[in-house]
Structure 1
């Protein structure tokens, strides 16, 4: 697939899985201040799982928000609905294949709204994975007030949560680039939950939470049941807010299962 403005393949150049064999697309939505390439480490895990899931043939895609990653020169967007409209339009234009949306933290809100629009257009995803996030009606883990913190305090908080590689945490140029996008994402999250969508999604939801997450308690998974007429499965995994990068293999194996069973459980 050729790179698009919002959605791009994370497969190495010239090795895109969009062939006759590609039957499942995993589309990832980053956290506040995050960028599409943060999910690149998932490629090898998916490659090892490919063939063990049904159906085989998986391509990893991710969303790049304006003001993030290689779109750093653009003005960040502060409206989740505007973001979802652009993303869903690109996804709806792809060849019809099985798709799985996965959003982490703030990305869970964007993924949920995107799933709603895709369902309305008749191209609903097979399942929605949400991670490190409360349901759309709940107060966000990072309050709107945090966006107004001075640069130093806001940056320190992000670093403490593990949202920035420690080797890059002292880079002043990186900090300047990321803080603008981070503030916009926090603002967008707050606006979305202050006026949550009306109605429920008809797609199965899989909720992944970190057992040691300082932002989102491990017992909030059931909140998502009110937001879908499909099944809900909750998995509490070892790790903090960024558990999805600490041990992604089991999460991906669960996400790629053909069907989701209702209930809750624990995963490694």
Structure 2
């Protein structure tokens, strides 16, 4: 990822963006994981200048030396602060799994920071406060058992799954993410949003069943929609072109309507991602 420049990494940028797509990764996820999305952007968003960005949480990727955080709000505050320093553009938040919780807190802070959220996408995620969600305490599992579950879920490169040194290096940040996510989902305080929310769930997801998409509509005063996709928990990496094309149909008219002076932001953070 190059030089460390905060929590928001620019994967691909344009001179005058009409839309900024910010990806909030899953537990243990890195900004680099979404660099492959850039090749699908031009075809998905013809005629729209799109900046693709991805969040790099503390303790992840090139921030490995930093202590991971177990507070979703603290992670979101840092991201919003970085966003205000980027050129103004409508904001499409794409949160995958744990990233959906981060996306909620980013969206809640955006109006006060002068940022316009065009759409919040919650992918493979339970909605905060959903009473149907079974209680989970996976962050308390022993290292070996937690690692086995994460490997079985499909979010870890099989070539690295048997490397004990890799496990010991990345597992603390993954455990912190899971703890933060579980705490956030079980919070008794209701999450209140005013942006449109789109939910992506996969038929083969062992963690988030399709009916879990329903509760998201109760969190926002905006419009809510659902897309039932093929694949499993990490469906976002199966066919990015199809996913991005669907998102473009939902947000492009709105992106063109957003004034370029929306937030008066300053210079961009530049740190092109490379696919890991």
With normalisation by structure 2, the TM-score equals: 0.85
**Any conservation in 2 of the 1:133–1:141 contact (CA below 8 Å)?**
no
C-alpha distance in 1, partners of 2:98/2:129? 13
SS at match of 1:240: coil
SS for the counterpart of 1:103 is strand
2:80–2:113 Cα contact (<8 Å) kept: no
1:38-61, CA deviations, whole angstroms, 9 ceiling, x for partnerless residues? 11111111133231xxx5111210
Does the C-alpha gap of structure 1 residues 5 and 142 become closer, same or farther in structure 2, counting only changes over 3 Å? Answer: farther
1:31 to 26, 38, 54: 26
Residue aligning to 2:148: 156
Pairing of 1:225-264 with structure 2 (within 5 A): 225-259=217-251
Unaligned runs of at least 5 residues, structure 1: 12-16, 261-268
CA contact (8 A) 1:213 1:239 kept: yes
Runs of 4+ residues deviating >6 angstroms: 139-142
Superposed displacement of residue 144, structure 1? 5.0
Say which of 14, 18, 23 aligns to 2:14: 18
Equivalent position SS for 1:253: helix
Taking the aligned partners of 1:32 and 1:126, their CA distance within structure 2 comes to 24
| Greater relative CO (CA pairs within 8 A, separation 6+) | 2
Greater Cα shift, 33-42 or 130-139: 130-139
| Residue 84 in structure 1 maps to residue 85 in structure 2 | no
| Corresponding residue of 1:60 | 52
| Residues 111/3 of structure 1: CA separation in 2 closer, same or farther (3 Å cut) | same
SS in 1 for 2:51: strand
The 2-side partners of 1:31 and 1:179 are apart by 13
Superposition pairs for residues 90-239 of structure 1, below 5 Å? Answer: 90-138=82-130, 144-195=136-187, 198=190, 200-239=192-231
| Kept in 2: contact 1:147–1:154 (CA 8 A) | yes
Output the aligned Cα RMSD: 2.0
Distance 2:244 2:189 in 1: 28
Cα deviation, residue 259, structure 1: 4.3
- What CA distance in whole angstroms lies between the structure 2 residues aligned with 1:180 and 1:144? 18
- Distance, in Å, in 2 between the alignment partners of 1:161 and 1:88 is 30
Q: Give structure 2 stretches of 5+ with no counterpart.
A: 253-276
Cα deviation, residue 250, structure 1: 1.8
Paired residues of 1:140 and 1:190 also in contact (CA < 8 A): no
Query: In structure 2, which of residues 23, 26, 43 is the aligned counterpart of residue 48 of structure 1?
Result: 43
